[in-house]
Structure 1
């Protein structure tokens, strides 16, 4: 399974980066191949200073070795080894009318001291972080996510949409990072879903990414914007950074397993502002966004 999924994310990385280069029309992804001293490595691809994308990355990795003590304590195991692979992407567009997007699909195995698999699971998802809210964009993104989920289980979309709203919550700000999407983790073999079934579901979601995001980027990338709107984008990016450094499990896992720091922090935008006690103007589009972030809604059913 680990070889099968790693081959999949290699191919998915090629597909996504090629699709995003077409959208941008100027910048190309630069590639770094790296190795982890303890075992494994990855392929990092970063795009910068394009027509559409100010900064973005589409990274894959496959790492293995002894599970660090801090992670053994987290999982409640001893003398465990691990293998983890996945694709992680973040895109920070230049135009504040185009939302930031994040996605990740991953597979994990844990072994006892004799090399036997004692645990394995899939995880992943994708979520949208707009700076200016276009309802039709939110509906399109969530409808694409629901279509992928419905092919495998009619309950998956609501379950993993709710988990996304809960997970990408900046508790110290009492607001969501964005308008959500899907988040699933620790997807293990059960009576109804074996590991092949989880592979099929995870890859279904991964394959839906370009359809969920590219039409939105294409529609908004050439819209006019003001300096004030660009400032708002950078202020909201600060909240994005706060989540990734304070709450995100993937970032923390990478830092605690001696991951490649440039790849881990690829998710951080190049230009960010922290303005003291910033409050959007009453009745503004900026205030409208904050209200939605504080009160997540069902985008598939909504007519607002």
Structure 2
């Protein structure tokens, strides 16, 4: 029977497994762990890797936090209740080589309690997405098909809907709905006994089934991403290609600071700022009205970000 302690154990084990796989792929840098406590309740394990052979900067973080529902949370996050609990894993990896995509993933669980300590609401959320700087269609298909396979065992209707949700969410609407990458899957506020998505009223999972769904999504991450690293990490690149990587990293920064719900939730609940902003890349460019040359590989990547494709 699912309990939040089971979720906490899974998230910490997943953090260990992902960090070990990433260190093995990098071959040089190791994660540095920073344990922190939140004065209002709980804390976390921030693990950062930097200046590696593969990763210029990255983090694989877990947090277990709780507290009293504040007026700010009621207004900004549209939740009500007396107290709350949240636990999840969030990661962002920014490679050195522009031929290796940036990636992000997050899996989380939230409980809301009444004044007597009874659970009055609970939900899961998560997803993973890929942000390449140069489009490799084989890599895109591999990443998406791995996510699809993990979700197909629960229902084959799930992946297409959550893929579309990801395209819509990881999107810089202020730039004419320009995606920050080529997507993946995204889902939020998935409640036991309710639909996995509003477009899937026929796909309803129990609490234990949702936990298994989260496990499947988290466990497939290394299979989705590590082969892409290994394929591309030793490719040669030019200063001009590094320049383009930093231009696209600017789009990543814009999304995370303007639109990302996780960033907003962390800041609104007095989360640890250093851990929340770990997702930002180390170097970026914000050139005025930068446009890639027509017909170039850079233009092809931008076109894929402006016009979502079906990769699986």
Query: TM-score when scaled to structure 2?
Result: 0.95
Secondary structure of 1:136's match? helix
SS at match of 2:237: coil
- Give the distance between the partners of 1:193 and 1:299, measured in 2 at CA: 26
| Residue 44 (structure 1) aligned with residue 50 (structure 2) | no
Q: 1:2 Cα shift?
A: 1.1
Question: 2:236 matched to 1:233?
Answer: no
Determine whether 1:142 maps to 2:160.
no
Matching residue within 178, 183, 186 for 1:180: 183
Q: 1:295 to 1:77 in 2, by over 3 A?
A: closer
* Matching residue of 2:98: 96
Number of aligned pairs?
300
Note if 1:206 corresponds to 2:218: yes
C-alpha distance in structure 2 between counterparts of 1:115 and 1:75, whole Å? 20
The alpha-carbon deviation at position 77 of structure 1 amounts to: 4.8
Give distance in 2, aligned partners of 1:64 and 1:19.
30
Contact 2:77 2:265 in 1 (8 A): no
Contact 1:68 1:256 in 2 (8 A): no
Distance 2:80 2:183 in 1: 35
Give the whole-Å Cα distance in 1 for the aligned partners of 2:82 and 2:306: 40
Contiguous gaps of at least 5 residues in structure 2: 195-203
Q: CA deviation at 1:69?
A: 1.5
TM-score by length of structure 1 reads 0.97
Cα–Cα, structure 1 residues 202 and 226, in superposed 2: closer, same or farther, change >3 Å?
same
Residue aligned with 2:103, SS? strand
Paired position in structure 1 for 2:171: 169
Of the three residues 281, 285, 288, the one matched with 2:300 is 288
- 4+ long deviations beyond 3 Å: 74-79
Deviation of 1:236 (Å):
0.3
CA-based RMSD: 1.0
Within 2, Cα distance between the matches of 1:26 and 1:76? 44
Structure 1 portions without partners, runs of 5+? none
